[in-house]
Chain A
Amino acid sequence: MNRLGAAPLALLWALPLLLSLAMLLPAASDGAAWHMALAHPQLWPALALSLATGAVSTLIALAISLLLIGGLSRSAMWNRLQAVAATGLAIPHLAFAIGFGFLIMPSGLIARLFVGGDAPPYWVSVQDPWGVALTLALALKEVPFLLTAGFAVLSRGDAARRIRNETRAAASLGHAPGSAFLRVVLPPLMKELRWPLVIVFVYGATVVDMALVLGPTQPPTLAVVIWHALNNAEPMTNGMGLVMTLLLTGALAIVLAAVALLKRAGRNATHRMLTAGPSLLQRPRATALVIGLAVTAMLALALLVLVLLSLAPRWPYPALLPAAVDASAWMAVSPAPLWLSLLLALAATAVAVASTVLWFETQDRNRDRWVIGLALVALALPQLASAGGQYRLLLPLGLTGTLSGLFLAHLTPVAAYVLIVLAGPYRAFDGRYIAAARALAASQLSAWARVKLPLLKAPLLTAAAIGFAVSIAQFVPAQLIAAGRFSTLPMEAVTLASGGNRPLTAAFALALTVPPLVAFLAAALLGRPRWR
């Protein structure tokens, strides 16, 4: 049973992934490519930019998320916050970038509202040289992800009760709810947020589409330099791109190792703070409310702006609303790619969740670090590189341009996310519940289905929704593997974005938002605990 349990994940996901990554190794020994890369005038500043935007955006997103969880968990706002997080997660990154960009650009909505005049002001907002616009947008867009990861932990069946009791115990020891949250709830929560934080950091440092819309240009982030290089027709330049990818990945690994070391070094100081004694620190309810409203407003405004953009062929400065409204962009959203994207997402999510659960159920938890490590590596590499490796693997097998190849291409990132999101909550499940059920004469399967599954339904549904959203938004791997035979919704959207037709791009971006939104709302509704 052990071997069999690992099989689906290993054969459908781990093995192809490892082989794809192996396809990239020859780049490491490509001397000419190394030479080109190290001589590239933008290499080091671009790398610094990537690391900075990734790190700062992660820290801001974490601060906001913890503030929101600390201030609003188990209050009346909690469910509403979950709904906001679900919506936020569903918005594709590119869509948010376009909407947010339109808010802050010199000819954008904020300038029109507060500055006016005949010509746009000389603001340096989008594409600012320090990457502030990109960092802010990333931070805002990742808050829903971290919040959702937090929810997955906090709303597990037994977690809520345990937290309630521990908070009562802390109160009896002189700690107000804010101090109890900081000192008792937060440390274990942070432990389970480790992997999501790593993903957020890695994503922020390697994102391409958001960096293109909002990030600096001379120099851009390293991810953008790599993207241009890998897209080039010259094989030499492609090789340089691969080398730069290895450099970027190495740099990310170093930063993460440094953070781990810092954490260890700071443990004493941290624990001193934890045990300093009674504290009347209150929960930051008011601040959290304000911040929560601000974040919600930004997400909502970006969406609203997107809707307006999709209907406005022209919207020149300083008009507050577009002059003419034209729904023709909506007519151009083609159904066939939409259905294909949905089909692939459902299949990839189902297989990912099933094989991941099978892994957790049958494998010893000591083995987890291998698959999670692999998942992180997969997510740490710029998609162009890992997808390139996958293409090189599938081409001789005749799987490019086929539906099964396309399915595998989607399964790769989906399974990685599902693994990472599900690992914490699944492994932390109190096995005694199963023992109790079996003692009541339930079979293994029955105990699992009737006790574990319902108690884990929130994290499972959340992981499924995240996987679904990730699949719908897949562009780079899909495009490479589809090899011109299929077209998914994001492929159509990005191609249109390259033509600069903003209403069309906005319409497709919104079309991309709807399926994940439905998935998340469904997960939120179905995943609610039976009683509070």
Chain B
Amino acid sequence: MHLKLTRRSFAGLLGLTPFLSTAHAEESWADIEAKARGQTVYFNAWAGSPQVNAYIAWVADELNTRYGITLEHVKLTDTAEAVRRVRDEVRAGKDGSADLIWINGENFHVMKEEQLLFGPFTEDLPNFALVDIDGKPTTRVDFAEGTEGLESPWGMAQLTFFADGAKLDTPPMSMMELLDLAKEEPGRIIYPAPPDFHGNTFIKQALAETIEDRTLLPVSIDKAIFTEASKPLFEYLDQLHPSLWREGKQFPQSQAQVTQMLADGELLMGLTFNPNEPANLVMAGTLPDTTIAWQNRDGSIGNTHFVAIPINSTSTAAAQVTANFLLSPEAQARKADLKLWGDPTVLDLDKLNPSQRALFNHAKVAGSVKKPARTIPEPHGSWVPLLEAAWLERYGA
């Protein structure tokens, strides 16, 4: 009697499974690819760089040929635009104007907390298996919080400095050495003001190198702990600022401006989050071929940048196929090509077969980082608003 019931109920249960499971878990990848065919993906991505734009145009071509997907590059000046737009649309109950967003850090956290993201989907992408999650833990941990599969890794970033080797023969390999250099050459070094994220990163690097208790970095902190823990940082900055450009009383608004001032000869060094940007600039002719690039000896802050899918997107299938394609060895290799964009890969080269690995053999060019340093993971997201507010309070007016 028990067996009969069990078999019947089991059969009944089987019949119920389509209604019980969440859609994408049951959908096979082949189903998703089939659904994606004919869909349009509005890819909201920062478009300040012609190299990035050209790369995205190539992606669009490939997606069209291989998967029948139309990719439109929505050119953003600032990712926060897309975040606000999605929030407004969801609130108004409208369909999404964005299907895929190039995102990370604070913007991602805001969207995650407000439940504006589709997913989790990342770990179901076939190419995710190739990602170097052990060697590059930031591919699953964004600003010390788990991505929970809501954003798919795309490329790597690491704080890198650069200068004209003809004018600077010994680059400073630590924040203390930077302080010494600034005192030797006053008025020739500067960083963009927070809340520009390059400025934030510079300060976070200084924080990481001056803080007494490093274990505080990956955890969520409050104002009290922050005030105590950041004392050495602000002592450092107080010492540094008088030797900076304009005595640290005025700051450029963006990293682009700092780079331009370096190119014009007003500054001694610049900073970037893309380790291959200096090489790119040399190739574009903006910087001389005597340009050198370096990262702080004991490690420099780095993270991963991602793509995420808004919850109100109407082309989630195509968006997922796109995210998957972006993780493919061909796409990652082309992205890492210094002649095109030079953004470092998130893949583990050991997980690739030899012919795929060969795609990543890019020649070293002028302006590449000679000795890459290890990545220091980003501090927890809660540090950022506290750093920004404290910096503003001390140096803002």
Contacts and interface: CB of A to CB of B under 8 A. Distances in A.
A and B part of one assembly? yes
Kindly list the 3 A-B residue pairs having the minimum CB-CB distance in the complex, ordered from nearest. A500-B256, A499-B48, A317-B265
Interface in B274-329: 284-288
A136 interface: no
Interface string A106-126: 110000000000011010100
A45 B392 CA distance: 13
B180 interface: no
Given A129-B249, A218-B397, A395-B92, A501 B50 contact: yes
Contacts of A287: none
Nearest to B89: A395
Given A315-B264, A400-B97, A217 B250 contact: yes
A279 B180 CA distance: 67
B261 A107 contact: yes
Contact of B80 (A231, A314, A395, A483): A231
Interface string B249-267: 1111111110111011110
B396 A218 contact: yes
Interface in A81-105: 105
A430 interface: no
Contacts of A332: 50
Contacts of A485: 42, 74, 97
Contacts of B259: 500
Contacts of B393: 41
B166 to A, nearest CB: 11
Interface in A194-235: 212, 216-220, 224, 228, 231-235
A238 B94 CA distance: 21
Contacts of A499: 47-50, 256
Given A316-B263, A395-B92, A484-B42, 16 more contacts: A41-B392, A212-B253, A217-B251, A218-B249, A313-B284, A313-B285, A326-B285, A332-B50, A395-B94, A479-B77, A484-B82, A487-B75, A495-B76, A500-B254, A501-B284, A504-B50
Contact of B266 (A107, A220, A224, A235): A107
Contacts of B76: 495
A498 interface: yes
Given A231-B81, A313-B286, A485-B97, A501 B264 contact: no
Interface string B227-262: 000000000000000000010011111111101110
B250 A316 contact: no
Contacts of B137: none
Contacts of B386: none
A395 B75 CA distance: 20
Contacts of B75: 487, 491-492, 495
A320 to B, nearest CB: 13
Nearest to A224: B253
Given A129-B249, A233-B106, A500 B284 contact: no
A244 B284 CA distance: 41
A12 B50 CA distance: 38
B265 A217 contact: no
Interface in A329-360: 332
Interface of A: 40-42, 45-46, 105-107, 119-120, 122, 124, 127-129, 212, 216-220, 224, 228, 231-235, 238, 313-318, 324, 326, 332, 391-392, 395-396, 398, 400-401, 479, 483-485, 487, 491-492, 494-502, 504
Dominant SS at the A interface?
loop
A498 B52 CA distance: 13
B176 to A, nearest CB: 25
27 contacts: A42-B397, A107-B266, A119-B188, A120-B266, A122-B187, A216-B250, A217-B250, A217-B251, A218-B193, A218-B251, A228-B195, A232-B195, A233-B111, A313-B284, A313-B286, A316-B263, A316-B265, A398-B94, A400-B97, A484-B42, A485-B74, A491-B75, A495-B77, A498-B46, A498-B48, A499-B256, A500-B260
Nearest to A499: B48
B54 to A, nearest CB: 10
Contacts of A400: 97
Given A494-B77, A499-B48, A317 B266 contact: yes
Given A107-B264, A314-B288, A492-B75, A233 B249 contact: no
A512 to B, nearest CB: 16
A219 B396 contact: yes
A398 to B, nearest CB: 8
A233 B84 contact: yes
A500 to B, nearest CB: 2
Contacts of A500: 48, 254-257, 259-260
Contacts of A129: 249-250
Contacts of B80: 231-233
A486 to B, nearest CB: 10
A496 B46 CA distance: 10
Contacts of B46: 495, 498
B364 to A, nearest CB: 22
B362 interface: no
A499 to B, nearest CB: 3
Contacts of B111: 233
Given A127-B250, A219-B397, A500-B255, A314 B44 contact: no
B354 to A, nearest CB: 36
A220 B260 CA distance: 20
B285 A42 contact: no
A501 B49 contact: yes
Contacts of A120: 264-266
B289 to A, nearest CB: 11
A498 B397 contact: no
B265 A314 contact: no
* Most chain B beta carbons < 10 A, residue from A45, A315, A495: A495
Given A218-B249, A238-B84, A313-B285, A484 B265 contact: no
Contacts of A497: 48, 256
A483 B251 contact: no
A475 to B, nearest CB: 9
Contacts of B396: 41-42, 218-219
B110 interface: yes
A479 B94 CA distance: 18
B47 A495 contact: yes
Contacts of B74: 484-485
Q: Which among A127, A501, A504 has the highest number of chain B CB atoms within 10 Å?
A: A501
B52 to A, nearest CB: 8
Nearest to A392: B88
A429 B88 CA distance: 47
Given A42-B396, A499-B48, A314 B287 contact: yes
B107 interface: yes
B285 A324 contact: yes
A40 to B, nearest CB: 8
A239 to B, nearest CB: 12
A490 B288 CA distance: 30
B44 A235 contact: no
B389 to A, nearest CB: 9
Contacts of A316: 263-265, 288
Given A122-B187, A218-B397, A498-B78, A105 B266 contact: yes
A392 B85 CA distance: 10
Given A231-B81, A484-B85, A496 B397 contact: no
B199 to A, nearest CB: 11
A492 B76 CA distance: 9
Contact of B88 (A45, A231, A391, A484): A391
Contacts of A232: 80, 195
Contacts of A391: 88
B260 A502 contact: yes
B87 interface: yes
Contacts of B251: 217-218
